[in-house]
Structure 1
Amino acid sequence: MSASIMKKYAKEPSVGTEELLVDESHQQLIALAKSSGFVEHHRLYGTEDLDQTKLQQLIINKGLFAEGTLIDFRLPEGKTGRSGATVLNNILDKLEQHSHIFFILSAHNTKGKLSTKWVEKIEKSGSHIQHPILNDTRKRQWLTHRLKIANITIEQKGQEFLLLLTEGNLLALEQQIKQLEISQLSNITVEELRKRFQDEARFNLFSLPEKIFNGQANRALRMCRKLRQEGEPLVLILWSIINELNLAIGLAELQKQQQSPSNFLKQNRIWKEHEATLYKLANKGLEKLYHQANTLHKIDKQSKGQAIGDGWLSLEKFIGELAIN
């Protein structure tokens, strides 16, 4: 989007389930908005911020020489609720009258939700960016592209090893590429990668969930604190734990429906040793697993500054309580 168009009026929804791609798109739009004079920045989050009065106050025209206002609104689940949809539609109508507003809406939208009125309204006067879920082929292409940007060469087997190690999660892949950049390695074989990840300190991120859900609280807490000292982002640590829990929930749901888990295990690249851990976790029951997932998502919000509290302390409390229960 050009600066001249932005000065007139812009609405940009950035949607999708690939968090890294959505976030990168988001950051580019924010940088472009700020460079074009939209200096005042307000970040809103979730349905609780879908408040008519609050949004109305942010878009009141401050006059001809006022700084532009950037409203950065994040709707993670893509859900507004009935009253929220009305508020959002009203606000989108008002935005057309205020050239000093740059509005970015980031939402997780499924195909069915893309036909909602507020999405259609955005498409009439703004741009709609959709980030689809990447399949295995696209993830390989993404990894090759990122490695090229980082000026790192990894043989094909090594790239497959990285994808398997991170279970294809783009955030985890990005973190590993950054660590390889720091290590100043450029031409890497799969053997070098395997040797690199044999170091327990570096592999803690992927073995931590097993220790947590097996009740090894003391060991898990030491690993967690070591990861923190090494500068591992909390959001990435939480991803590895939430991912393990989601796999267990998926397995438990299949068991409840008396369906074969073979395709599920194959699609998620779960090896035999990992199966035993997942079955043990799934057997704790869906109600308990759902409760644990809700707790982790609250901690994830804390880690991103979207909720009050210290995410690291909350995670340690979660680990301790899990060992007791």
Structure 2
Amino acid sequence: MLLKGEQLAAHLERDLRPLYVLYGDEPLLVLEAADAIRAKARNSGYTEREVLTVLPQFDWGALLAAGGNMSLFGDRKLIDLRIPNGKPGKDGSSALQAWCQNLSSDTMLLITLPELDWKEEKSAWFTALVDAGVVIKLNAPPLAELPGWIAGRLRRQQQSAELDSLKFIAERVEGNLLAAHQEIQKLGLLYPTGQLSMEQIRDAVLNVARYDIDGLREALLAGDLARLNRTLDGLMQEGEAPPLVLWAMTEEIRALTAIRAGLDSGRPADLLLKEAKVWGPRQLPVKKALQRLSTAALEEALRHAGRIDRLAKGIGQGNIWEEFLRLGLRLCPQTPTPAGRPAPSSVR
């Protein structure tokens, strides 16, 4: 059975299963979900706990042995199985499938994994876990949903804020959910319950965003100039290597160029996306980007990327980070700057 992260609390209030699997790209959410399950297990009589971590040369017989070793006092047991690389291997796959066929109410198995790719999600061992237990995928909310996530956390400590204030926090903790959690807790310590003002939030919240290449690609596809500028500036401040930034931007432009050319020749979009290896949730932002970009614009962006490549190799003069921003501008919707207002700041 598959559950969403927000469904876990209600599930635990009415039920407790002998098998739980937690996985995703956000350690904070995985940790919190695991804590909730362990607390429920303790209150339900699972007083004994054994932790197993799957490292190289791990003996999967230890899992089956742990399940067979009952307490001298007849206590129920929780086995906390952690697979840091998300790959149990052939022996692990067999052991997990065997476990799923012999579940017991006296022994609970809690498995934590990192984010899995689509191949692992369709593997025999993972499918067996989904069929036999409760599986919860816990990924960080995207930037558009982050204000709502923050509002929910504030409600837990009986605080609230206007949407502009929530967006202000979201922009400064983007890509770093643990920092968001800490900043929200800080607001609970600094201010009483009730409505928080923008001034209070500005005074308390630090700029703790963790900018990464994936965020850059998302901003590029969305044509979000403000986020693109902010992310490039963050990557520069964090010392990211320009060749990696150029590679990420160029890969997106090449994929868009190939798909756009195919669409112009009348080929079906789904086939073109498959050929460009654009899968899953990435398809929607790619399709939206293609709606605003022509073949000519994309080809000129590729030529611009070539000039940046030469600049990175010491050929020519210029600020490479400013060129990254100019390259991004080619893929953003062109909106006129209102009179009297400065244009968006360039990357320093």
Deviation at 1:160, TM superposition (A): 1.2
Deviation at 1:26, TM superposition (A): 1.2
Superposed counterparts of 1:86-125, under 5 Å: 86-93=94-101, 95-96=102-103, 98-107=104-113, 108-125=115-132
AA matched with 2:173: T
Deviation at 1:32, TM superposition (A): 1.2
Contact 1:166/1:173 (CA < 8 Å) preserved in 2?
Answer: yes
Work out the CA distance in 2 between the residues paired with 1:157 and 1:165.
13
Taking only the aligned residue pairs, the percentage that are identical comes to: 22
Work out the CA distance in 2 between the residues paired with 1:266 and 1:42.
48
Work out the CA distance in 2 between the residues paired with 1:63 and 1:40.
8
Superposed counterparts of 1:66-77, under 5 Å: 66-77=74-85
Deviation at 1:263, TM superposition (A): 6.2
Work out the CA distance in 2 between the residues paired with 1:4 and 1:263.
45
AA matched with 1:281: E
Deviation at 1:28, TM superposition (A): 1.3
Note the aligned Cα RMSD (angstroms): 3.6
Work out the CA distance in 2 between the residues paired with 1:271 and 1:102.
43
Quickly say closer, same or farther: Cα 1:285–1:116, change in 2 above 3 A: closer
Contact 1:14/1:128 (CA < 8 Å) preserved in 2?
Answer: yes
Q: As a proportion of its length, which structure holds more helix?
A: 1
TM-score (norm 2): 0.56
Which protein shows a greater Rg?
Answer: 2
TM-score (norm 1): 0.59
Work out the CA distance in 1 between the residues paired with 2:226 and 2:185.
29
Quickly say closer, same or farther: Cα 1:3–1:71, change in 2 above 3 A: farther
Work out the CA distance in 1 between the residues paired with 2:49 and 2:22.
17
Unaligned regions of 5+ residues in structure 2, if any?
1-10, 246-348
Superposed counterparts of 1:218-297, under 5 Å: 243=210, 246-247=212-213, 270=230, 273-274=233-234, 276-278=236-238, 280-283=239-242
Give the secondary structure class of the aligned counterpart of 1:37.
Answer: coil
Per the alignment, residue 40 of structure 2 pairs with 32
Work out the CA distance in 2 between the residues paired with 1:31 and 1:145.
22
Superposed counterparts of 1:151-230, under 5 Å: 151-185=158-192, 186-197=194-205, 203=206, 206=208
Q: Which of 90, 93, 96 pairs up with 1:82? A: 90
Unaligned regions of 5+ residues in structure 1, if any?
198-202, 207-239, 255-259, 287-325
Per the alignment, residue 129 of structure 1 pairs with 136
Deviations 1:101-146 (A, max 9, x none): 1001122323332211122212332222223442233322211111
Work out the CA distance in 2 between the residues paired with 1:19 and 1:55.
24
Contact 2:83/2:111 (CA < 8 Å) preserved in 1?
Answer: yes
Contact 1:15/1:109 (CA < 8 Å) preserved in 2?
Answer: yes
Work out the CA distance in 1 between the residues paired with 2:237 and 2:74.
58
Quickly say closer, same or farther: Cα 1:275–1:14, change in 2 above 3 A: closer
Quickly say closer, same or farther: Cα 1:3–1:180, change in 2 above 3 A: closer
The number of aligned residues is 231
Greater than 4 Å deviation, 4+ residue runs: 1-6, 260-269, 283-286
Give the secondary structure class of the aligned counterpart of 1:25.
Answer: helix
Work out the CA distance in 2 between the residues paired with 1:149 and 1:250.
28
Quickly say closer, same or farther: Cα 1:192–1:112, change in 2 above 3 A: same
Please tell me whether residue 145 in structure 1 is matched to residue 131 in structure 2: no
